[in-house]
Amino acid sequence: MGKLQLLKKQVLNCKKCDLYKKRTNPVIGEGSLNAKVMFIGEAPGFNEDKKGKPFVGQAGKILDKLLNSINLKREDIYITNILKCKPPQNRDPTSEEIKACTPYLDQQIEIIKPKIICCLGNFATNFIMKKFNLKEKIQGISKIHEKLFSTSTLNGVIKIIPMYHPAVATYDISKFNVLKKDFEKIK
Ligand code: URA
Ligand code: SF4
């Protein structure tokens, strides 16, 4: 069994935090195992929980438009989240949940070895920047989205691009253009 298959099996059976009790399906992630670009969101929402797939609701539609604007397809990239199970009422992930769940994300990064990590929103940005020793450079997403970071790892240099979470564009249309501009950096 491949490493990612093994990970899937672990997540499907995971009870490391209380979110397992109310999930319909955990959302592990999907995309190319050879992806150079990895997108990390926050947590599954209603639609993702129903389907077991990442970004299939409103935020997903926006993500698709943004990907399309730089000629990337979902098959070219890998998409996952900080948490694999849906928090109730879309509330923020707790630090306990993040601590329990992110070893799975660490493994996904290890397996896929992306060259670029796009952090969608504050939770992904904070986790990834801490992980790659950029903690002192963390700022709120409204400031940090204009920046791009590099980190040297055993698997080579990884670029880190913090962005607004695409869901913000569902209630603030001006953010769509900000996101679009930030997506240009991926090219
Ligand atoms: N929002 C996220 O952060 N992730 C999803 O998969 C869907 C919506
Ligand atoms: Fe396990 Fe993560 Fe789901 Fe919690 S959110 S039960 S740690 S897979």
| pLDDT by 10s per residue, the chain, length 187 | 799 999 999 999 999 999 999 999 999 999 999 999 999 999 999 999 999 999 999 999 999 999 999 999 999 999 999 999 999 999 999 999 999 999 999 999 999 999 999 999 999 999 999 999 999 999 999 999 999 999 999 989 999 999 999 999 999 999 999 999 999 999 9
Distance CA 120, CA 55 (A): 11
Q: Rounded to an integer, what distance in angstroms lies between the CA atom of residue 44 and that of residue 101?
A: 13
Split into its structural domains, the chain has a count of: 1
Look at residue 171 in the predicted model and tell me its pLDDT. Answer: 93
Most informative mutation of 66, 165, 170 for ligand 1 (most atoms within 8 A of CB): 165
Query: Are the CB atoms for 62 and 22 separated by under 8 Å?
Result: no
At 130, which amino acid appears?
Answer: K
Point out the ligand nearest to the CA of residue 16: 2
Q: Does the Cβ of 44 fall within 6 Å of ligand 1?
A: yes
Q: Is 82 in the pocket of ligand 2 (CB under 6 A)?
A: no
CA of 105 to the centre of ligand 1 (A): 14
CATH of the domain at 135: 3.40.470.10
Q: Hey, how many other C-beta atoms are within 10 angstroms of the C-beta on 131?
A: 17
The residue segments making up the domain with residue 114 are: 3-184
Ligand 1 closest atom vs CA 54: 6
Instruction: Check: CB of residue 166 under 8 Å from CB of residue 66.
Output: yes
Q: Distance, CA 149 to ligand 1 centroid (Å)?
A: 23
**From the CA of 80, how far away is ligand 1's center (Å)?**
8
Ligand 1 pocket residue status of 81, Cβ below 6 Å: yes
**CA angle at residue 45 from 52 to 16, to 5 degrees?**
70
Element (H, E) at 160: strand 156-163
Residue 1 has what pLDDT? 76
93 lines ligand 2 (CB under 6 A): no
